[in-house]
Chain A
Amino acid sequence: MMKGFRKYLMIGLAATALSTAGLPAWADQVLNIAHPVLEQSWSPLQGGGHVARWQSLWWAAPMYFDKDGKLTPYVLASATHDEGFKTWTLTIDPKAVFSDGSKITAQDIVGTWNLCARPATKHARVNLFLGDVEGFNDVVVGKAKDMAGLVVKDDQTVTVTLATADPIFDQKIATALIPPVKISQAVDESGAQKADWWRPENGVVVSGPFMPESMDLDQGIVTLVPNPHFFGPKPKLEKVVITTVSDPITATLMLQRGDMDAATELITPTVIQDLGADFLGGPALAKGQQFWFDASKPPMDDINVRKALTMSVNPQELALAAFPDGPFTVADQILNKVPGVDPDYPKYTYDPEAAKAALAASKYKGSDRLPKIMFVGISTPTHEAAAQYIAEQWRKVLGIQGTEMKPAIETYAGPDQKSVQVFRDDVGTRVPDAVSYLMGSIHSGSGNALNKMGGYKNPEVDKLLDEASVKGVDDPDRIGNAQKAQRLFREDWMYIPYYYDVMSKWAMPWVQSFDKNDDWQVIEPWNVSIDEEKRP
């Protein structure tokens, strides 16, 4: 009798085990993310690319902005400054530890930031965060290895000396893109980043709520599990699996079926119809898309042509052409979402007659003398729809026939690469500050002015922004100068406003607390969970 019972018990247990083993991964609190690019490097020191968008899952930022935009301590317990905003003292939270339980030290912060600045690391955005630190300019071009302005005061304290005063330095370093790493793991004797130090098989220790369990770079699958030594709240998810799904149709199908829960980025013309408005929606972002004119190339070297091209486009219709179902909103001024958005900004208006008059007043006199106008940045079907709309308006209103559009500048044949006049791209800021926003978009030193607007330089604009950048965040002139600079820039007719971005959730409705900040990071990854009842 007993023997028979045992036999049936064993069979029952085996059957249960087999049936559980057969369950898909999503049976538990597992977040499956579809990632669009086959990544060969998951180094946290790249400062950009799709990899960087998941950095907050496994790396703790120095500080971060919470859901309400409040600067919140994280690895750093505090960041204080002297009266002139030139010397900052950063104090590390004594509880801040890596996943092996060792403390995050001042040496780690200084070492990481120096490593980020060195040319061989190829960090794409380091100068946005550390560009004002004394000695930065020498390190980024390889003349020095370390920034003189970064000094370890003691194990828990870093002193930062800036070359120019910066009242918002603490906000600038509130980003997961320069996370302190265990520097002894990441750097070799020559000061270069060690190859593959960030792989779990090399024993990487991390500081975020999750840590890598496995990284199959060939298949494109990265698995993260909770970090047992995380110094913040315990994560709700049991696992995060990031899988490369390069094809947007396949990714859409997998999201629809619940095989995937979120995507790093997914833009298709039918994304709202396929996955719902909530998938693409999110809070407004301090970022806007524009079509920038390169004023160094004909015919954009004539302000009247730029005027004509801008006034022949209806901004409402332009945004609708790209996103007929939202959620993006029509753009006008450069500034968006940050304190200092100009409520009385004189928008560019659609005025076909004025556009024709402006073209007639230009040195080209009419459309037949204009060279072919070439666009770049037309990298998605939505941007293509918008660019097609612009070309059609130019044809209808101004009689311009010769336009061409491509995704990237290198897709043009050699000689044409030097003649491209219109760049579709976004500008924005990671900190809630109008000056920082404009410094990165219309100041002559910005990458946008140098590369997209052909070395645009308006000395008045530069002067106003330079003056504003050293004023305290509470000084009304900081915002006042920024607004004046923006209006001056408007008179140069350098762009066609397109739309303001939102921070798309890119997650299905069953993914909870998946809020992201302006840095594309999940703000509080430990709060993310899956509502299993809503999952298909």
Chain B
Amino acid sequence: MGRYIINRLVRWIPSVFILLLLVYALVFFGAGDPIKLIFLQAPGDVAYDPARVDAIREAAGLNRPFLLQFWDYILNVAQGNFGNSLVSGRSVNAMISAAVPVTLKIGLTAIVLVSLLGILLGVIAALNQNKWLDNLIVGFALVIWGIPVFVAGPLITVFLVLVLDFDVPYGWGGLFSPKVIVPLLVIGLNPMALIIRQARAGVLEVLSEDYVRTARAKGIPNYQVVMRHIMRPVLTPVVSQIGLLVIATLNNSILIEKVFGLPGLGRMTETAIKSSDYPVILAIVLIFSVVVMASNLLVDISYPLLDPRAAAKKTEDE
């Protein structure tokens, strides 16, 4: 197992290098010069003078060739230094270290809640196949899958505030603050549909298996059949969705943190992209890639625990 993890990590490094190179090239050549944007994005009588913009770029070290700048960047990153924001001059490490915990706390909590609730609803739907409860749950999953979070967020807020006269759920007061309930709900709503459908399909598949029929024939109570014989094989495909869930949660955080004023990576991403602040963009890309890689690795490691056949195959691969 140890060798497997090291293999995965070693394979991850070149892919992240290529990813960073691609993103660096995209923002460097495509998204626009952050110094120009400081002047071009401000309205009205801004003193845009090409000679001055050049002097500012020179002062910021942005006039050097692309590969030289990228190499310097990689060397700094290797030493744990993400550099300074090109727009504000603030240390990217300081910005990131404040934002990462917020996004992680919200994201992980959302994933846990979504997984538990999604599996529960999926199992209930499957056990009541084609009955009204199944239709209700499947319908609910379809609806939440169809509403993008950037629509659901403002809609739910408007409903809570204008119809139910709640306070505006805004800002960050820690994970146990009531303000976090609505953003958690919104971030998790869309990916929950995925889990519900996967769990339902998994249970339906297992329900027709011989060993389930045998267990029932032996008179084992239904809840024990579900917990002992159905859940374990169902968890394997559901767990495989966790990687997708992490990606969906990160994507949603970019759209939702702005609406609810959460000081996480999502809100920072939006600001950095708008100003083409590439040291910040690259740091966020790197962190997102670490999170996705780690979640995929965890999923791979958890397979053998859930399914002994996967353990045997992994040993053969190694």
Contacts and interface: CB of A to CB of B under 8 A. Distances in A.
Interface stretch (A116-124, A311-319, A347-355): A116-124
Contact of B161 (A196, A247, A253, A447): A253
B276 interface: yes
A450 B48 contact: yes
Contact of B267 (A47, A246, A259, A440): A246
Interface string A40-68: 11000001110000000000000000000
Interface in A364-394: none
A219 B263 contact: yes
B99 A218 contact: yes
B44 A247 contact: no
B86 to A, nearest CB: 10
A247 B31 contact: no
B49 A253 contact: no
Contacts of A79: none
A250 B260 contact: yes
Contacts of B47: 47, 124-128, 131, 447
Interface stretch (A1-9, A106-114, A425-433): A425-433
Contacts of B98: 218
B174 to A, nearest CB: 12
Interface in B93-107: 95, 98-99
Most buried by A among B45, B52, B98: B45
Interface in A122-160: 122, 124-128, 131, 140-142
B157 interface: yes
Contact of B55 (A124, A125, A140, A244): A140
Nearest to A46: B38
Contacts of B170: 245, 250, 254, 259
A480 interface: no
A237 to B, nearest CB: 21
Contacts of B99: 218
A120 B86 CA distance: 11
A38 B267 contact: yes
Interface stretch (A87-95, A407-415, A490-498): A407-415
B27 to A, nearest CB: 10
Interface string A218-247: 111000000000000000000000011111
A140 B49 contact: yes
Nearest to B51: A141
B44 A141 contact: no
B270 A246 contact: yes
A141 B43 contact: no
B261 A124 contact: no
B55 A257 contact: no
Interface residues of B, number: 56
Contacts of A14: none
A426 B44 contact: yes
Contacts of B222: none
Given A120-B56, A219-B263, A257-B168, A250 B45 contact: no
A124 B271 contact: no
Interface residues of A, number: 55
B95 A122 contact: no
A75 B44 CA distance: 27
Nearest to A219: B263
B104 to A, nearest CB: 14
Nearest to A117: B52
A13 interface: no
A127 B53 CA distance: 13
Most buried by A among B84, B89, B263: B89
A15 interface: no
A413 to B, nearest CB: 9
B87 A41 contact: yes
A195 interface: yes
A410 B52 contact: no
Contact of B88 (A40, A120, A428): A40
Interface string A318-359: 000000000000000000000000000000000000000000
Interface of A: 37-41, 47-49, 119-120, 122, 124-128, 131, 140-142, 193, 195-196, 217-220, 243-247, 249-250, 253-254, 257, 259, 287, 408-410, 414, 425-430, 440-441, 447-448, 450-451
29 contacts: A40-B85, A40-B88, A40-B95, A49-B42, A122-B38, A124-B42, A125-B45, A127-B47, A128-B47, A141-B52, A195-B89, A196-B90, A218-B98, A219-B171, A219-B263, A220-B263, A246-B258, A247-B259, A249-B157, A250-B261, A253-B157, A253-B161, A253-B162, A253-B168, A257-B167, A259-B170, A287-B44, A409-B32, A425-B44
User: What are the 9 A-B residue pairs with the smallest beta carbon separation, nearest first?
Assistant: A40-B88, A410-B32, A41-B88, A218-B98, A119-B55, A127-B47, A120-B59, A447-B48, A142-B55
Interface of B: 29-32, 35, 37-52, 54-56, 58-60, 84-85, 87-90, 95, 98-99, 154, 157-158, 161-162, 167-168, 170-172, 258-261, 263, 267-268, 270-271, 276
